[in-house]
Amino acid sequence: MFSYEDLRVYKKAFEANQKVYRVLKENKVIPSYTKNQLGRASLSIMLNIAEGSAKFSNRDRRNFYVTARGSVFECASLVSFLSDEHEITNELKAELIKTYEDISRMLFTMIRNLTNTTSSTP
C-alpha cells in the first residue's frame, strides 16, 4: 500500500474523480474540450496529492499540494459553468462543490502546516 492511499484528502479526491469520470463518460452533450479540461483537472487533484506524498522535502510536497488545490478551484469553476449551462444537474453541482470545498480546506491545512515547517527550518 502507498502512503497516499491513507490520506483522507486523497480518498475524497479519488471519489470526486470517479463521479466526474462517470458523468463525462455518460454525457454526450458536453463539448469535448470542456470534458477534456474537467477530466484533466479532476485527475490532477488526485495525482498531485499522490505525487506530493512521495516527495522527501516539505517544500516539494507543498508545491504539489498547491497545484492540487489550484486544480480544485478549476474543477469547481467548470462544474458551476456546466450547471449554469444545464449540462449537469443542480444536485450534482451541489455534491461536487461540497466535496471540492472539503478537499480545498484539507489541502489548505496541509499547505499551511508544510509552510510553517519549511519556514521554521534554517
pTM score of the predicted model: 0.92
Query: Confidence band (pLDDT; 50, 70, 90) for 119?
Result: low
Identify whether 2 is part of a domain.
no
Identify whether 106 is part of a domain.
yes
Which amino acid, 21?
Y
CA distance linking residue 71 with residue 57, whole number of Å: 22
Region 75-91: mean pLDDT is: 97
Number of domains in the chain: 1
Query: Confidence band (pLDDT; 50, 70, 90) for 122?
Result: very low
Say what percent of the chain tops pLDDT 90: 93
Handedness of CA 77, 35, 17, 48 (dihedral sign): negative
The domain in which residue 35 lies consists of 7-117
CATH number at residue 22: 1.20.1440.60
Identify whether 102 is part of a domain.
yes
Give the residue with greater pLDDT, 89 vs 119.
Answer: 89
CA distance linking residue 7 with residue 64, whole number of Å: 15
Identify whether 94 is part of a domain.
yes
Place of cell 478549476: 74
